[in-house]
Amino acid sequence: MSRRLKATAIVATLGTALGLGIAAPAATAGQARIGRITTKRVHLDWAGHRTAAQTRALAAQPAAGTPIQDFSRNITDGATTFNYTMIGKDPFVAQTKPKTNIKTYLQPVRIQFANGHFWDPTVADRCGATNALTRTQNSPIFVAQGWKFGGTSVGKGQYVDATQRAGFFDQTKSTGINPGYHVNLNLITLPKVTVNVPNASAAEGTTTCGSGILGAIDINYWDNNVVPGLLTSMAASGLTKKDFPLFLFGNLVMYDGSTVNCCILGYHFSRGSGSTFQSYGNAMYDNTGDFTGSADISVLTHEVSEWMDDPNGVNPTKPWGNIGQVSGCQGNLETGDPLSGTVHPRALNGKTYTVQELAFYSWFYHQNPSQGVNGWFSNFGKFTVDADPCP
């Protein structure tokens, strides 16, 4: 693959039923068998194979100045100065038009296995009267509503936009320099596509809910063999480098090379640099009932937020870790990772959705006081102090 995503860490454990009692289907001559999911570990995002040289080259060329609307700034944390890049306009500079609109191409993906099993986000299952695509379209990811965190209003917006306003509250509040600041996702839904996955890149387990069968595909097959072609076909539908493509799965996870390295529920990534820079996201709408700390749109909230705050996956920070999904130390601006599994209900359009709590950039860069709402370091207030150092 051209470049590599950020480091991944384990976030939770599955229900005990996952992967048990599933017999792999017989393989025909010369054909690999469909694998079995036997691990009970869960991953958000992707720990992969970007080389050290690729990582250094990517870090040396931030996303700022590429086709998508973004900004880049330096920030000093103690004796160290870091450069970071985020999607949107610079909230620290008074903007005549502070709102950014990003066309978001939502691509539902139907995954088909050779044994006839499939996972289709446009089809309802026994645990939901409404399909994953419709639920996602009508969710706080894309539908604006009023938000209060700790009783403090941050205005009306989509969930990740409201979180950005909350994280930059010194600038976005009514008395700030950019009270009209927003980063809005303008939804464009594409017709679903079907991907036929070879047995060598497929695996199955069981789920408590949903269809009863959990599908899994090798993330390396997906990102190397499938994504480039899908991005090309989406370009024929209007997608440009200025836009955000988002692939949607239903009860479908990924593994990294081996089913031992399962299950990746979503990730964000980018390809190319300069004028060829294309960021994108992948996420499962989770209706399985098996993943602790995950339900419906929680994975989407995690990945969309991290795409917005760390579009190239390498915004550097001082090491932090041993919290959320991170076992050990991590050194990048990944807003979902330290709070993976910390979720909150949010009612909208007759459905109670599940959103993940998200960390502010002040948490990562040890800003005291925080520039976030209520002086907090995360949007629902779990973090009231900045990140602990990680040895």
Which pair of structure tokens corresponds to residue 220? 């390396």
| pLDDT reported for residue 129 | 86
Sign of the Cα torsion 119, 120, 121, 123 reads: negative
Is the pLDDT score of 48 beyond 80? Answer: no
Which pair of structure tokens corresponds to residue 332? 């990048």
Q: What one-character DSSP code corresponds to residue 86?
A: E
Mean pLDDT of the chain: 88
Q: At residue 151, what are phi and psi to the nearest 5 degrees?
A: 85, -5
Is the pLDDT score of 343 beyond 90? Answer: yes
Domain boundaries of the chain, sorted by first residue: 9-375
Residues 6+ apart with CB under 8 A from 353: 135, 139, 140, 296, 297, 345, 346, 347
3-state secondary structure 64-132: CCCCCCEEEEEEEECCEEEEEEEECCCCCCCCCCCEEEEEEEEEEEEEEECCCCEECCCCCCCCCCCCH
Is the pLDDT score of 54 beyond 80? Answer: no
Q: What one-character DSSP code corresponds to residue 222?
A: I
Give tens-digit pLDDT for 205-249: 998 887 889 999 999 999 999 999 999 999 999 999 999 999 999
Question: What is the value of pTM for the model shown?
Answer: 0.90
